[in-house]
Structure 1
Amino acid sequence: MASRLMAALAVVGAMAGQGAVAQGDGPSKWVDPYIGVDWGGNTFVGSTVPFGMVKLGPDMETFDGRKSGFGYSSYGRIEGFSHTHLSGAQGKYGNILLQPVVGPVKPGDLASARDGEQARVGYYRAHLQRYDVTAELTSSRRVGFHRYTFPKTDDAHLTVDVEHCLSRGSGKGWEDQHFVGGEVHVVSDHEVAGFGRYTGGWNRGGEYRVYFDLITDKKATAERTWTATTLTEAKNATVSTETPLGAVLDFSTRDGEVVQAKVGISYVSVDQARQNVQKEVPGWDFAAVQRATAAAWDKQLSVLKMGPATPDAQRRMLTTAIYHTMLMPVDRTGENPGWQSGEPYYDDYYATWDTFRSSGPWLTLVAPDRQRDLLRSLIDIYRHDGYMPDARSGNVNGRTQGGSNANVVVADAWVKGLAGIDYMTALQAMIHDAEVPPTDKQKEGRGGLQDYNSKGYVTLADERSGSRTMEYANDDFAIATVACGLGQKDVAAKYAARSKNFENLWDLSLKEEGFTGFLRPKNPDGTWGPPNTKVRGTWPDFFYEGDEWTYSLYAPHDVREIIRLAGGSQKFNDRLDWTFRRGHFDVTNEPGFLLPVLYDWSGRPDKSADIVQLLLEKYFTADRSGIPGNDDSGAMSSWLLFQSIGFYPVAGQDVYVFGTPALADVTLDVAPGKQLHIVSKGFDPSGEVHYIQSATLNGEPLNRAWFRHSEIVNGGTLELVMGTAPSDWGKTDPPPSMSDPGPGFCERVPRH
């Protein structure tokens, strides 16, 4: 296996043949779609537009037959090219699979090794060795455009597999995806249409349908369909069980002849799939479609401009990170099969639990109109489906990993003045989350809600009771924030009180590795359960994707109180030191995203700088393994972006806290015509000069290790003076916490 792996990797990225689409000169040229494909990053490789519905790319299996759960594999064989994918996650989609074939067509046995692979924004290319066919892909928002260069043969074919989907299982898998039926119709000698029905996947969702209309620029010499493994001359085929289903167009080709296909995708109907082709790609100019896709990305990627001294590898890494933050959720406005509405419709919030911490704040900062539309979509889903999703895919809510974190997304938008949102309805949705127990605890809402609201914590009667309690408290803080802003002080007071519930699971006497005070499970009768020391929990455990070292310090809305519970600033700092030095910190998972900068609340921003610099240097690279865990719809990439420019958001609050910059000079577009210029004087790319000595914002001294969104939303200049040793800068004025003395809670909430 090792020798085959090395041989396969040796050809990846090589050039093959003639006619490759030219690379443009915009920022999209710095995107490397291969960053994050290995070691669990699960990033998408293929063609899509920003937030595009169609994500056209290869679906692969390794040489030993293991199928990729997200589509791509750095080595192995290509099964074909499907039109729906996730990014940074797996377990869903892979629908409507095309594969060019030379020779006998054997449904279920069409995979080919490849060489000459290339990938960049809006373009994918590979040579299929089994068939001597070069495949090229590009796309628009709802149309996949295929270009296949065949050898001379009277036995060329283009196949479409409707049954295919990723993460197929035997029927017993908890998160298996299944094909449950569909139709294929040969419309003419250059058109095939139909749909597939699919269920399951990671979100354990109900049925979703993908309709397609495939049009070729070359007439077929014959057309066939298949069910099971039987090919027939029938022009129509229908199955209603998990049975293979597909169609074949046969061709005779000259050497080097190109056959092109446009595939419109719709979640509503075949007619709409056909209209999508007519509207978005009316002609056959492959290069023009690719240029338009790259231009759309150039516009989005230009929001961050790095100084000329930025190393190429870092420029690739960070530009690709922006690209990753704009792959999901997916804009399906006009493609909602559930209801008609004048509101935007987005799907594949996969998952808000991952993205609310930094991806949402990133879009609010650099793409506020997009974030506004995402919020409007969440609120409209509540209107029609009953809950804002904590995750959603295939037009179905599910699964809820922690809290009702769309609450934090709403609060983040409110405190940052995002306009054009129905905040009154949003508040109703938030209160619904906090008061109405869901029928399916893993699908939506808050599991264990009755205990949480009556006892002040989730008990061991429900799974994930520790992480849920901590997240619900932060979600309640978000409700209180929006209620304050809307003038509903009684509602605000109720949820502000509940936001303190995280204290109810703190056992001040519990000792672990020399430190006192940790979260501990409670039984339904209120007695303490055994301490939970599991390193990384999952669905049935006390902590979800984290442990007691991470979640015991998780109260973003009241870090001051966490410091008090931990024994004061010095003991808090010592505990953080121990957490990072002894391997208790998990950089691969979102619950710990804020942990590296918590030192800012305890008077040691220099320690935040140490940890951030170490994490950036050790775990993020411009390589295929350059993302340390699932990118999760760009969540990991947004963490990298914020930390690289030098500060990080506290989601649901109008606050950013400092770490250390990884760039000497960077400019952010924060609004039309408004830019934030960040200059780090004395910066050294070696990482040795990573302590902030002083700061100014628009020429005025900034002596605190944090600032508010309102201070940068209109642009300006943030100037940091860097040094090789810690200074006294930022030690005396910590970021805000709910338990701070002074004005009442509502008096501190921004009003817009």
Structure 2
Amino acid sequence: MPRSHGLAASWWWPKPQVGNTHPGATSPLGMVSACAYSGAYPTGYGRYKKGTEGLPEEMFDRLQASGFTHFQQSGTGAIRKYYNYVRVTPMVQPLDELGQSWPLHDEIASPGYYAATLDTGVRSEITVGEKVAVHRYTFPEQRSARVVIDLSIGGLSIDLGRTVPLRAQVESMGYGCAQGTVVMEGVPLSVYIEVDSPGWRQMLWYDRRLVDGGTRLDFDSIRHTTLRPFGLIFMGPATAGQTIEVRLGFSLRGHEQARKNLERECGQTRPAFDTVHADTRDRWRDTVGKVQVEGGTTARRTVMSTALYHSLIKPCVADDESPFWPTSGPYAFDICTMWDIYKTQLPLIAAIAPERHTAILESLIRVCEEEGNFPIGYRMARGADRFFRQASALAHTALSDAYALRPQSIDWSWALVHMVDDLRRMYGEDFFEHGVVHPITHTLDLAYAHHCTAQVARALNDHRLADDLADLSRGWINAFDPATGLLLDSSFYEGGKWNYSFRLVHDMAARIALAGGDKTFIDMLDQFFGYGAAPVTQPGVRPLPAEMRRGFALNRFEGLNNEPDMEAPWSYHYAGRPDRTAEVVNAALTWQFGTGRGGLPGNDDSGGLSSWYVWASLGLFPVAGQNLFLINAPAFERGALTIGDQEFVVETSGHRETPIGADGIDRTPPTQYVQSATLNGKALHGAHLSAADVHKGGRLHLKLGPEPSAWAQGVRPPSVSDLHAP
């Protein structure tokens, strides 16, 4: 992690600076991932214990693995569902030693590919497709080599981190074929397995003992206390350099669909590793190729590419795979969570992967139809952990933006029915009756969701409904204390009232007036972002509660360490100070991200943080739910987004490189400020664009300079009340 300097040194972050990502093989927004498994928090890969505050504490003193598992979280924290199902372990030891971990050497990771050498000398390579994984193991010379598949594993090696199958079945079908189903937290995960191991024996095993002559194991009821590991083993002699290929097709709808998924993605070619790898590599190239940048240092381009990659791992979109409703169509899981992804990641997916974006929204609508409400978080488990403490009614923002861009495949009349019904559920009933609800941030959420739903209702010509919803949307003001200009005292999820007080509500003009006007609002923001403040001390390993309380009492920007702060730098835009936005964003891009391990300022949270980096580097910020982008000085000389068959270009003149500060030199890189702007050759006087302008393509030219200018100070982004309209 770069050591912070200047303005960034005054920020305080409570969470570990480790990103919580993994280097395993993934496919863009695909169903399956695969990686080395150590049991560490939170992805199953790595060395750290569970930690949500301060510096991470080591669980192991080395990188190690007991095998390679499937389905990992990406960037999440205390998510309470850690997957890591179906462990495949190449061994040269007896089956009794299954579960032992060996050091990892010579790791290589690229989109769709992961490789490492175990300390046993087995070179292990993994690639994945959308619904399949293919492993390739190269053995040293060995009289009795083994590939062991453990279907009983799940979760992490931490307290309360293990997932135990409720029911299971595994069948050896002979000739290198097998199939199995494990029911994990109510979800039936099926796998169809092919193993190329000529001359090797194939057997079932239970409790680390071979099952002679058996072809099937069934477990009707499993508890933590009764679980004994079980699975399949393939064993025989290996010559030096001999490769064994393991192909796994996955489905949530049974063995037959798992087999069809394997056939579709692997084709007829055997071995299939190179075919699947090439297909996934091409998908990654096509997807990340939708964003191009020019200029910048090597380090900055590396961080940008990595951020773009991390932004496209989750959510998982698995067409025709819902285990909960029988009809075809998209099924999205690992929406972890809407609180993390609705501001930055979903707008990025909407731009560069619009079909997948529509699939995610269609899946959310179907979940609401089947389960009764839009989820805040949705994993591979029915009705699991809706994260209601985090927020309320966030799907409405994404749906409102989507309607403004008009994806043709969504039934908007039906979507509106669910949007309206969902507003009355959980905290929504109290909001409807009293106009305010605690935790107070839910008042902001619900007022905003009413505004977003009103936009869809009005567009569908239901004006009476739209007017009623718009009236309720004004309830955001009930969340604030006019005496302080901040939110009312309340409980707050992972933050304090200062962190939440600078959210971009739909009437920022009125919100600034409530605070006392532009100057007072800017002074509050300056205090929040630490202008003139001394550097702060960050929490260490196992910080004491008193240390954390002192940090929170600073009422300071958390340096992108958490979701409530993501949009706060752009609040300056609404008070006529885009130059301040430029300073804060430049400090964050420069001092909060790096190229080494720990180069992310907190949990990546499914890609929400990385998506922030992508947008900020391009000089744009999406205001979710308002069909709006805010403009800022970009980090690159030129950037381009390919949206459908159109291209939106952000180009600059006067751009100057600002290197990432990972070298530790005590200097503050110069901030650049927009001096003037044109859109398609016409002067642009405000620091904002409609999302429709961006999505239809065009050319935004920004003239940059080393000093703040008067550009966009008088033309503010739109607000419902339009108090600052020219």
TM above 0.5, yes or no, is yes
1:202-238 deviation digits (Å, cap 9, x = unpaired): xxxxx11211122111135333333334443233223
Deviation, 1:107, is: 5.8
**CA drift at 1:689:** 4.9
**Match among 482, 485, 488 for residue 517 of structure 1:** 485
Give distance in 2, aligned partners of 1:266 and 1:606.
Answer: 51
Partner of 1:561: 510
Greater Cα shift, 359-368 or 138-147: 359-368
d(CA) in 1 for partners of 2:470 and 2:163? 41
CA distance in 2, matches of 1:303, 1:478: 28
Q: Which residue of 1 aligns with 2:56?
A: none
Alignment of 1:302 onto 2:270: no
Aligned to 2:618: 645
Give 1:571 deviation, angstroms.
0.6
**Structure 1 590/667 Cα, relative in aligned 2: closer, same or farther at 3 Å?**
same
Cα distance change, pair 168–494 in 1 and its aligned pair in 2 (3 A) = farther
SS of the aligned residue for 1:136 comes to strand
Query: Which secondary structure state, in structure 1, belongs to the residue aligned with residue 468 of structure 2?
Result: helix
- Once the two structures are superposed, what CA deviation does each residue of 1:301-336 show, in whole Å capped at 9, x if it has no partner? 1111112x3322222221222222221111211211
**What is the correspondence of 1:237-386 to structure 2 with a 5 Å cutoff?**
237-239=217-219, 240-241=221-222, 242=224, 243=227, 244-282=229-267, 283=269, 284-307=271-294, 309-386=295-372
The letter for the 2-side match of 1:592 is D
Shift, 1:421, TM fit: 1.7
Task: Give ranges in structure 1 of 5+ residues lacking alignment.
Answer: 1-36, 62-66, 200-206, 438-446, 460-464, 510-515, 521-530, 533-541, 744-752
The verdict on how the C-alpha distance between 1:652 and 1:351 changes in structure 2, with shifts beyond 3 A counting, is: same
- Matched residue SS, 1:278: helix
Match among 712, 719, 727 for residue 701 of structure 2:
719
Out of 453, 456, 460, which is 1:486 matched to?
460
State yes or no: 1:739 paired with 2:721: yes
710 and 142 in structure 1: CA distance in 2 versus 1, 3 angstrom threshold: closer
Corresponding residue of 2:135: 146
Q: Is the 8 A contact 1:190 1:220 kept in 2?
A: no
Which of residues 411, 432, 436 in structure 2 aligns to 1:457? 436
SS in 2 for 1:500: helix
Partner residue of 1:419 out of 384, 390, 408 = 408
| Corresponding letter in the other structure for 2:333 | D
| Contact 1:189–1:221 (8 Å) recurs in 2 | no
Q: Any idea what the Cα deviations from partners look like across 1:413-459, whole Å, max 9, x if unmatched?
A: 12233332211111111111112x3xxxxxxxxx3333211111114
Contact 1:182/1:245 (<8 A) preserved: no
Matches within 5 A, 1:35-114: 39-61=17-39, 67-73=40-46, 75-89=62-76, 91-106=81-96, 108-114=98-104
The one-letter amino acid paired with 2:450 is D
In 1, distance between residues paired with 2:298 and 2:309?
Answer: 16
Where in structure 2 are the equivalents of 1:16-31 lying within 5 Å?
Answer: none
Task: Determine what percentage of the aligned residue pairs are the same residue.
Answer: 29
User: Which SS does the other structure have where 1:504 is aligned?
Assistant: helix
Match of 1:580 in 2: 529
Q: CA deviation at 1:176?
A: 5.8
Amino acid at match of 1:280: E
Contact conserved, 2:317 with 2:356, CA < 8 A, in 1?
no
Instruction: Give 1:189 deviation, angstroms.
Output: 4.3
List alignment gaps of at least 5 residues for structure 2. Answer: 1-14, 48-61, 534-553, 659-668
**TM-score normalised to the size of structure 1?**
0.83
State the shift of 1:742 in Å. Answer: 10
Local SS of the residue matching 1:373: helix
Q: Which amino acid aligns with 2:151?
A: V
Q: Secondary structure at the match of 1:392?
A: coil
Query: Residue 736 of structure 1: SS of its match in structure 2?
Result: coil
Code of the aligned partner of 2:215 = K
Q: Distance in 2 between matches of 1:220 and 1:73?
A: 35
* Counterpart Cα distance in 2 of 1:69 and 1:191: 32
Q: Which residue of 1 aligns with 2:577?
A: 604
Deviations 1:61-86 (A, max 9, x none): 4xxxxx33212216431121112122
Report deviation, 1:274. Answer: 1.7
Amino acid in the other structure paired with 1:210: L
Cα shift at 1:196: 1.4
Q: Contact (CA 8 Å) 2:633, 2:702: kept in 1 or not? A: no
Give the corresponding residue for 1:236: 216
* 8 Å Cα contact 2:44-2:156 kept in structure 1: no
Q: What is the DSSP-based 3-state SS (H/G/I as helix, E as strand, rest coil) of the residue aligned with 2:25?
A: coil
Tell whether 2:598 aligns with 1:625: yes
d(CA) in 2 for partners of 1:590 and 1:662?
22
C-alpha distance in 2, partners of 1:404/1:689? 37
Q: 1:257 to 1:343 in 2, by over 3 A?
A: closer
Larger relative contact order (C-alpha < 8 A, sep ≥ 6)? 2
Q: TM-score if structure 2 supplies the norm length?
A: 0.86
Counterpart pick for 1:670 among 627, 643, 654: 643
Q: Which residue of 2 aligns with 1:118?
A: 108
Q: Is the 8 A contact 2:150 2:230 kept in 1?
A: yes
CA distance in 1, matches of 2:569, 2:206: 55
Note closer, same or farther for the CA distance 1:555–1:310 as it changes in structure 2 (3 Å cut): closer
Alignment check: 8 A CA contact 1:343 1:380 kept: no
Runs of 4+ in 1 over 4 A off after TM superposition: none
State the Cα distance separating 1:169 from its structure 2 match: 6.2
The residue correspondences of 1:75-224 to structure 2 (distance < 5 A) are 75-89=62-76, 91-106=81-96, 108-129=98-119, 131-167=120-156, 173=160, 177-199=163-185, 207-219=186-198, 221-224=200-203
RMSD: 2.1
Supply the distance in 2 between the matched residues of 1:77 and 1:168 (Cα, whole angstroms): 13
Q: Is the 8 A contact 1:696 1:719 kept in 2?
A: yes
Question: Is 1:683–2:655 an aligned residue pair?
Answer: yes
**Equivalence map 1:410-559=2 (5 Å):** 410-435=399-424, 437=425, 447-459=426-438, 465-509=439-483, 516-520=484-488, 531-532=489-490, 542-559=491-508
Match status 1:404 vs 2:407: no
SS in 2 for 1:457: coil
Structure-1 separation of matches of 2:498 and 2:16: 28
Partners of 2:568 and 2:682 in 1: how far apart? 29
Structure 1 distance, partners of 2:215, 2:647, is: 58
Could you tell me how far 1:105 is from its partner in structure 2? 1.2
> Shift of residue 550 of structure 1?
2.0
CA distance in 2, matches of 1:246, 1:650: 49
Query: 2:320·2:329 contact (CA, 8 Å) conserved in 1?
Result: no
Q: Does 1:657 align with 2:637?
A: no
Q: Which amino acid aligns with 1:147?
A: R
Q: Separation in 1 of the partners of 2:471 and 2:156?
A: 44
> Deviation string for 1:528-582 (max 9, x for gaps)?
xxx45xxxxxxxxx11122110222335212112211211110100000100106
Over 3 Å counting, the alpha-carbon distance change for 1:473 and 1:352 in structure 2 is same
Q: Distance in 2 between matches of 1:645 and 1:742?
A: 27
- The amino acid across from 1:676 in the alignment is F
Q: Quote the Cα distance in structure 2 between the aligned partners of 1:107 and 1:225.
A: 16
Deviations, residues 439-483 of structure 1 (Å, cap 9, x unaligned): xxxxxxxx3333211111114xxxxx1121121111111111111
In 2, Cα distance between equivalents of 1:220 and 1:575? 73
Per-residue Cα deviation, 1:389-422 (whole angstroms, up to 9, x for no partner): 2211114243232011111110011223333221
